[in-house]
């Protein structure tokens, strides 16, 4: 099978970990007899430097003409003084919107070997296997108006806007995932305060009728934040709006001990998907060969499974990652007792070798 993959490394550690995705794909291609044609383009700060805009037309065109997209991370102190409409992060929001990537999926498994590096007790952290489904192209991040007002610019407004269609399509996606997993869906909202949440809840209840095999419950976002720490094992699939999903998924990511472990997928209605780690560009460790490339490599596995329908190939990557961790190798962020600390390059090499060897 021949597939064209766009790789957008972005900024900071994005550039270091992107090579992990490329190496993993090369190993998968060799072992399973596929050809992955990798094409690179700039996004974020790198694109501001090269083209004067965080999402150049050429990058968008490449993304649209590819079978799937891998993205590293964007942003960094170099561009912090720019107004928000011109910052690297704007490139990310723009590509999500342009490609209609409304469904953001963040699987949070427990990595048995990493349970000890979780801030939670092992018996709580070891019991986790959830999928957070976050709405990605609506809500506060995109609602207009979003501006400063008043004579002294000292009044501000942001708008939380959703249409029925936007809520329906993400809710249906979440039900489909719940059906294929443990059959439990938790919808998170703030229906005691927000009108948007009241409609969200109505729609979840309507769609529940089409999925009798899925058990549904509703939870306020503040309660959900608490439960993610006290009893994360109770969740199977969580569905929520853009801002709540952003915050809860970062919180949930810490159950596994490091942001550097968690992949994400962002899907459109047409099936085109963009895959990226949950973390950012980590300017504090960029260029030091310290970044954990596993979130990027696991994002590549999700891409193979969800966009290219190469399940076996994706699982081969996931097994290789587990095997390297089980043998006690980790990057400095993981703080596993008695482990061998390796740099980004060596971690990529270890995983790649194990993909080739079929561990
Ligand atoms: P961050 O996720 O970049 O870093 C938070 C902390 O986690 C840092 O101490 C960092 O060293 C560590 N970390 C993150 N990923 C790691 C990895 N793979 N291996 C080892 N350690 C890792 O978040 P922060 O510092 O808030 O933001 C830095 C920049 O990234 C900002 O410009 C921000 O806007 C941008 N950002 C971009 C995102 C994206 O491209 N999707 C998402 C989040 C932030
Ligand atoms: Mg975030």
Q: CATH number of the domain at 337, please.
A: 3.40.718.10
What is the model's pTM? 0.91
Q: How many domains does the chain have?
A: 2
pLDDT of amino acid 326: 92
Backbone torsions φ then ψ of 266, nearest 5 degrees? -125, 120
pLDDT of amino acid 181: 94
> Do 181 and 294 reside in the same domain of the chain?
no
162 given a catalytic annotation:
no
Residue 114 falls inside a structural domain? no
> Do 102 and 24 reside in the same domain of the chain?
yes
CA atoms 35, 5, 245, 100: torsion sign: negative
From the number of C-beta atoms within 10 Å of its C-beta (0-12, 13-18, 19+), residue 109 rates as middle
Residue 113 falls inside a structural domain? no
Which domain-ending residue is among 231, 251, 271?
Answer: 251
Residue 77 falls inside a structural domain? yes
Q: Are the CB atoms for 240 and 187 separated by under 8 Å?
A: yes
Where does ligand 1 bind, in terms of residues with CB under 6 Å? 13, 73-76, 89, 92, 259-260, 276, 279-285, 291-292, 295, 333
> Do 125 and 66 reside in the same domain of the chain?
no
> Do 150 and 208 reside in the same domain of the chain?
yes
Which domain-ending residue is among 218, 235, 251?
Answer: 251
Which residues define the annotated binding site for NAD(+)? 76-89, 280-292
Sheet holding 103-109, edge to edge: 35-40, 2-10, 68-73, 273-277, 263-267, 103-109, 129-135, 237-240, 184-189, 215-220
> Do 139 and 104 reside in the same domain of the chain?
no
Which domain-ending residue is among 214, 230, 251?
Answer: 251
> Do 12 and 75 reside in the same domain of the chain?
yes
What domain range is 137 assigned to?
A: 119-251
222 given a catalytic annotation:
yes
pLDDT of amino acid 112: 81
Q: Got the DSSP string for 26-78?
A: HHHHHHHT-EEEEEE---THHHHHHHSSSS-HHHHHHHHTSSEEEEEE---GG
Determine the 3-state secondary structure of 338 from DSSP: coil
64 given a catalytic annotation:
no
List, for the chain, all residue ranges whose pLDDT scores fall below the cut of 50. Answer: none
β-sheet bridge partners, residue 44: none
Residue 162 falls inside a structural domain? yes
Q: Are the CB atoms for 345 and 287 separated by under 8 Å?
A: no
């Amino acid at each position: 099978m021949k597939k064209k993959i766009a790789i957008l490394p972005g900024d900071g550690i994005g550039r270091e970990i992107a090579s992990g995705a490329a190496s993993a794909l090369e190993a998968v291609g060799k072992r399973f007899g596929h050809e992955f044609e990798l094409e690179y383009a700039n996004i974020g700060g790198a694109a501001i430097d090269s083209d004067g805009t965080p999402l150049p037309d050429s990058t968008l065109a490449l993304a649209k003409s590819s079978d799937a997209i891998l993205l590293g991370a964007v942003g960094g102190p170099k561009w912090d003084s720019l107004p928000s409409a011109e910052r690297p992060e704007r490139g990310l929001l723009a590509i999500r919107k342009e490609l209609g990537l409304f469904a953001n999926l963040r699987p949070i498994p427990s990595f048995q070997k990493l349970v000890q590096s979780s801030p939670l007790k092992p018996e709580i952290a070891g019991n986790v296997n959830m999928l957070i489904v976050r709405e990605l192209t609506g809500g506060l991040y995109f609602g207009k108006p979003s501006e400063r007002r008043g004579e002294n610019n000292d009044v501000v407004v942001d708008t939380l806007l959703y249409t029925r269609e936007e809520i329906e399509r993400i809710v249906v996606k979440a039900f489909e995932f719940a059906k294929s997993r443990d059959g439990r869906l938790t919808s998170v909202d703030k229906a005691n305060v927000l009108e948007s949440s009241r409609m969200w809840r109505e729609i979840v209840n309507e769609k529940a009728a089409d999925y009798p095999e899925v058990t549904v419950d509703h939870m306020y976002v503040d309660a959900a934040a608490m439960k993610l720490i006290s009893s994360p094992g109770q969740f199977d699939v969580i569905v929520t709006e853009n801002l709540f999903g952003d915050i809860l998924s970062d919180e949930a990511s810490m159950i596994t001990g490091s942001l550097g472990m968690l992949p994400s997928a962002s899907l459109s209605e047409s099936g085109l998907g963009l895959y990226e780690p949950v973390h950012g560009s980590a300017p504090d460790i960029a260029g030091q060969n310290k970044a954990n490339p596993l979130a990027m490599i696991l994002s590549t596995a999700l891409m193979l499974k969800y966009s290219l329908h190469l399940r076996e190939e994706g699982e081969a990557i996931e097994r290789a990652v587990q095997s390297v961790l089980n043998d006690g190798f980790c990057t400095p962020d993981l703080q596993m007792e008695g482990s061998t600390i390796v740099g980004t390059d060596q971690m990529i090499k270890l995983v790649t070798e194990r993909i080739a060897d079929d561990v």
